[in-house]
Structure 1
Amino acid sequence: MPIFSATLGSISFLSASQSQSNLSPFKLTVKSPCQWHHYYHTTKVFVSGNTQIDQNPDTGLLQRPTPPSPDPQDVTRQARRSSDWKAAKAYKDSGLIYSGRVENFNSGGLLVRFFSILGFLPYPQLSPMHACKEPEKSIQEIARGLLYSNIPVKVILADEDKRKLIFSEKEAAWSKFSKQVNVGDIFEARVGYVEDYGAFVHLRFPDDLYRLTGLIHISEVSWDLIHDVRDILKAGDEVRVKVVGIDWGKSRINLSIKQLEEDPLLETLDKVIPQDGSADPDSTSSIDSGDIEPLPGLETILEELLQEEGIYDVRISRQGFEKRVVSQDLQLWLSNAPPINQRFTLLARAGRQVQEIHLTTSLDQDGIKKTLQRVLERVP
């Protein structure tokens, strides 16, 4: 029996012996020629088994049917998600704090709900209060304890195209508690972790919670020379620190341990060589002023000072040896000791050796400082 094939309004006959691969993809079977006219107006052609294509009764051309209407619930859901992404970007731009529910966690951080979107909070962006409150617990145990609780966070990345929503609890804590910190404040703190360049420590607030993190640079750990911070500090150590700087733009707090100790550069020589002769012979000594050899580079400075107007006499009076090395370089500063009979005291230090210099002058303290600055600029 012949097989009919429909191709865009025309009909051709194929013999049964012809290959099925030559058949048109739009197949139409008609019972008899007398039924064709009626069938022409009502035919529906199926492509690839299920896809229906209608035939226009006026033109005879095949045409795709109108697609079904989308599910109203899907439309509403998509509109809501799009609106929530806009809200996330608004939170990021404004810096507002959002209270997000912890839905789950993985090896890298917490999954936090933001309206209809799930965002990510990496473990390094958690507030230090969690680990400091329960230091014996692993980060995964801490995360498990936070499940289904609400935590304050800031949106630090909202990218709808890449589907990335990142939170920070640290940034939220900074916004809330940094205003309570001022330069010069002293805090009890706990060392979080140590790097080659310094130690990051968590500051304990009056509520006994560790709210913010600051950096003690290696130069602010001790007055002694330090080659490795790990020789002095390790994670978990309790320390007292002083706030020496705040970078509001970068949300950073600079801290110091050594500035809670008396600056040895401001000590008078009386603290190096006690006047009662009770000095430890292993750490300090006194030599007759006539036998004192100036520290390397100091003699040239003293000669230049004598060339300055208002300075009448400059001489080394005493020297001593300290127990610790502050610097191997020559350092010169004006003592805080008040002048006696127009005589000021200068202190020079290099390594462990300290020398006291008496400067007789008509200049006041500010005048001496300016004179020293001019001299030090001339001396190489």
Structure 2
Amino acid sequence: MTLVLRFGPGDAARCRFAVSPLQVTMSALLVLNAPSRHAWYLPWLRGIQDVIAGLDLGLLGVAAPVRGHGPDFLWPSPTGPLTTIEDDLARVQATDPGVVAAELAEHARRLDPRTVPAHLYRGLTGDPVEARDELVAHQREAWRLLVAPLWDRIRGLLDADIATRARQMADGGLEGLFSHLHRRAKWESGALHLIGLGRGSVDLRGRGLTLVPTAFGWPNLGIGPTDAISAAPPALVYPMLGAARLWEPAARSPAIARLLGAGRALVLAETLVPSTTSGLARRVGLAPATVSQHLAVLRDVGLVTAERRGREVFYQQTPLAAALTSGMHPDSPAAGPN
């Protein structure tokens, strides 16, 4: 089965990247609902056992499918690279009750009522406003417990993925971008062929396409909405580059620590993932002012670069720093991209 996205005049110019904390959260729920299908994320699953022991997501646990298609309104297309979780949740909260009722009813028809608690099954087909409010509350809780503690590190990798993909598109156009995006995405004759995402053809009608990397997507692709009446561009959710870095400890060499000092070496190791000063401070347990001083020194000697993105500045290791921090210890993970 292949879904074909047909690009017309103006669609290429309207292709853009976006970040969605809620897309990441919903993708994490897919992993949580079917852990045996996502062995790549076992380190994360082991790390949240205490959290999920008392986690009850109620209606959201039923509405987020183990496989296949779920209600589109729970996965709103993000509007840009600076989208926050509150931006995402506000869009879900603003969904028309008629849309909520129709999509939840359709989802309920795909379920076996015998496998769902009766009160939750009734919730899918009951008052759409109550259902929408409950689902938003559970999405916020899922974000807080499952994703927020990792968000600084995830966000750094998402930004690194977007920077890499943007270079691919600048160098090779859409063909160059999609040839590296995913093995099930093929660019042929001015159209994007998505293998295994349904059957049919979708005319983008000048809306373009939103490309959304996620930390929990491997090995899957996701697409939506693709209906003919939607004014929003479809969002293609794909697994980000370097997801394994989320589970790897930062490489820390005793020799580098003696050279730079323990605190500065720790900050340098964490800049393997592009990070803000505040994000680094939370991860390494140092005051933001101290981290800022360390970054200034590391930047002056050519070990980190600084790049402004909107209101934030992200710091990342230079190739020189990567060479210094990799291979210094037999147990250190490689500093290169995955």
Tell me the TM-score range normalised by the shorter chain.
under 0.3
Bigger Cα Rg:
1
**TM-score with structure 2 setting the length:** 0.23
Which of 1 and 2 has higher RCO (CA within 8 Å, sep 6+)? Answer: 2
**Which protein is richer in strand relative to its size?**
1
**Which protein is richer in helix relative to its size?**
2
**TM-score with structure 1 setting the length:** 0.21
